[in-house]
Amino acid sequence: CYVPLDPGGPRARLSAIAADAGVSLVIGDAAVAEFGAVAGIDVPPPAAPGHCPATPDTTAHVLYTSGSTGRPKGVLTSHRNIVAFVTGFATRLGVGPGTRTLGISSLGFDAFTMDVFVPLSVGGSVQLAGTADRADPERLRRFIVEHDVDWGFITPTLLSLVDPADVPGWRTVACGGEPVPAELVARWLPGRRFFHVYGPTETTVVVVTDEVTGVPADPLPLGTPTPEHRAHVVDDDLRPVPPGEVGELLIGGPGLAAGYLGSPELTARKFVEDPFTPGSRLYRTGDLARLRSDGRLEFAGRADRQVKIRGQRIELGEVEAALGAHPDVGAVAVEAVPGPGGTRLVAFLSPASAPSDADIHAYAGERLTEAMRPAVLRRLDVLPVNPVTGKIDRPALRALAGDEPGEDLGGSPVAEVWRKVLGPGAGPDFLLAGGDSITAMRLVAALRADLAADVSVEDVFTGRTLDELTRRVAAAAPLTGPGLTTGHAPALSPPQRRLWFL
């Protein structure tokens, strides 16, 4: 089996995952640079493929998701799980010979299985977008058009950066990973098939889908289970709740993973005996849902502190544990709050003399993925405590998160766009203001739309500050659209040149 990791990702986190998985062999473009000096890990040169001894129940891959204890957890997915997903999903969403899918998901994101294995298993093809095409909304649009993409999965955050009128050949859209606004669906729906898709990594990518028809309205239904899968909405005692009432969503079927690598107790808590189908198991998703009168499921929140940031599952406890390990941080609490571009994380640190934003960002960069890093850091003498429970007063923290002090950045057109994208309290440093790759794409798209400046994501990251970006906008040529090399297969992006651990 393989374990995908991000070359150039948080080094401490990569090392922890490699150790947890018992990695002994590394294959990939970045293998030598990342793990060539690690004792006990072999980095062989390229070689011809050998015989594959896998059986249906052999583990195909171990995908690591965020863990509430502060350590990522590895999900054991078998070949049988993947085949069940691929065949059922292709049938449900109409993927077949000649389908040209969009490949933009990371190998470490379970949607990669959808991007690649689904079309290839039925005679289709996958168009792998390179780094520059993924990082720039205009280049992404041109890539979709030039490579005749007609089917693709994408998160709503990325989909919102593309104008449906500019990609008329994209006829089937699968969207999920985080809440999908009805307004976004309404923009894309005319003349297309639009599927809302849902599924945790533990149930192999997607297990519930809904084809949106008519006039979409919030909240969008999750839909119904894919072939051979079943869903139950239950109370705390795993008894079914009446239709319309909220309960925990449990999933059963051939997509259920074996469990978590090296974590039998967690596996036993999350993968439970199925009281409705003797001899089978159910996965406790931790998602709250209700069964609608039309038989479709509807998402109703979380039963724990797990959140979705740009389609990635984040356990707030893991973020708190990583930041709390800093020797100069006394206590830490992290809350997920609405932001200009979707949900973002705000970290509250004590004491008030806790390290600077730059120090915390540098420390977090070694331990947390981009999506897990807080966009805003706030310092308090002490964290507020609920006088009744004696626990951290999280509602009070969320109220403080919405009361973010602003900074005078001036009234230039670039500053106006900066505040619109990063938020009214954003400072003059892009990274310290919570900027990331998706935010950079949104900033570039807004600068192009509002100021007709031909700037790029590289300008944002290289310039980094508002003053430097303002200079680059002033020096930029009038917007004509970046070029795209065609006539050969696109180069794989670093997230696609993943490390494969055997």
Q: How far is Cα 302 from Cα 295, in angstroms, rounded to an integer?
A: 21
Are 269 and 284 spatial neighbours (Cβ–Cβ below 8 Å)?
yes
Q: Is the pLDDT of residue 54 over 50?
A: yes
Identify the pLDDT of residue 14: 82
Closest CA to 222 of 300, 159, 306, 308: 300
* pLDDT tens string 175-204: 998 889 999 999 999 999 999 999 999 999
CA 101 to chain centre: 19
- CATH class for the domain made up of 308-401: alpha beta
So where are the chain's domains?
1-53, 74-302, 308-401, 413-475
Q: Is the pLDDT of residue 477 over 90?
A: no
Q: Is the pLDDT of residue 140 over 60?
A: yes
Q: Which of 253-262, 423-432, 478-487 has the lowest mean pLDDT?
A: 478-487
Q: What's the predicted TM-score (pTM) here?
A: 0.81
Write down the H helix ranges in 36-170.
79-93, 111-112, 118-121, 131-135, 137-146, 156-159
How is domain 413-475 classified at the CATH fold level?
1.10.1200
Q: What percent of the chain has pLDDT over 70?
A: 92
- Which option is the CATH number for 74-302: 3.40.50.1100, 3.40.50.970, 3.30.300.160, 3.40.50.12780? 3.40.50.12780
**Residue 35 contacts by C-beta under 8 Å, 6 or more apart in sequence?**
18, 23, 26, 41, 43, 499
Instruction: For the chain, give the longest Cα–Cα distance.
Output: 69
Identify the pLDDT of residue 406: 64
What phi-psi label fits residue 342: left (phi over 0), alpha (psi between -120 and 50 degrees) or beta? left
Residue 384 burial class via C-beta count within 10 angstroms: exposed 0-12, middle 13-18, buried 19 and up: middle
- Cis status of the peptide bond prior to 351, with omega within 30 of 0: yes
488: pLDDT confidence band, cut at 50, 70 and 90? Answer: very low
Q: If you compute the radius of gyration of the chain from its CA atoms, what whole number of angstroms results?
A: 23
